[in-house]
Amino acid sequence: MTRKLEGKVALITGSGRGIGRSIALKLAGEGARIVVNDLDAEPAQEAVQAIREAGGQAVACVGNVTAPDFAERFVGTAVSEYKGLDIVVNNAGYTWDNVIQKMTDEQWYAMLDCHLTAPFRILRAAQPVIRALAKSEGEAGRRVMRKVVNISSVAGLFGNAGQANYSAAKAGIVGMTQTLAKEWGRMNVTVNCVAYGFIKTRLTGNAADGGTARIDGRDIKVGVNPELMAAMERSIPLGRGGTPDEAAGAVYLLCIPESDYVSGQTLMCSGGLTGI
């Protein structure tokens, strides 16, 4: 049986760990060739190896998505390695919380740079490649659908206390999604968004464990207060947080041919949670 994404080339940011890794494995399992990205070489190579061991194809493009030269290098990897570009998933991200009166400019811009500016740059770099491919396909009488899936959050739709920076960036990606759906439809590209609720990853683990993530030379505290975590899970109609594999499933839905006429939409993947 033909796999749904056979031969497609997919760029996935932040795909060495967590949700991104699950997305990469899911799309690779359906035949997509993956360009894996992570801040660090080790998790990126581990994800590449996992895909290859499962019979898929993948290469790594290590680096920070906020670096000025990253977008061109990322898109260039897809073109040089696989001679194509079919799917872009803007997944990389983290949180750096504080109430607004204590939030620094550094915290504010860090979230906008990662969650909004980086996807903008990647999609800007991808546009000439996609335009050229769509033109040649049109001249040959073929229509090939391509997919962009941006990652937002319920915080971007409803706000969340202590996350003015993150919520603003995630709201912004929804607006960019809707705009590019209008701009890129003529190139046979659907542009959609997935807004996650509480998904269980290293970034949402127990804050009492004292975990940190090393980002841009900063040690950012990760995790959620266990009492707050329990309260959050009680508020979810399904009664629990989601898994990375379940989160990946929502992205997958927007990448397969069955969603070829769905564009400009935001799909909530939140276990039924419709507010915070």
Instruction: Give the residue numbers marked as catalytic.
Output: 166
In our burial notation (b when 16+ CB lie closer than 10 A, e otherwise), range 112-124 reads bbbbbbbbebbbe
Q: How far apart are CA 234 and CA 187, in angstroms?
A: 44
CB contact set of 49 (below 8 Å; sequence gap of 6+): none
Say which residue the tokens 């206390």 belong to.
Answer: 161
Q: Is the dihedral of CA 230, 232, 238, 240 positive or negative?
A: negative
First to last CA, the chain: 42
Tally of residues, the chain: 276
Q: At what angle do helices 164-184 and 118-139 cross, to 10 degrees?
A: 10
Positive or negative: CA dihedral 71, 72, 75, 80: negative
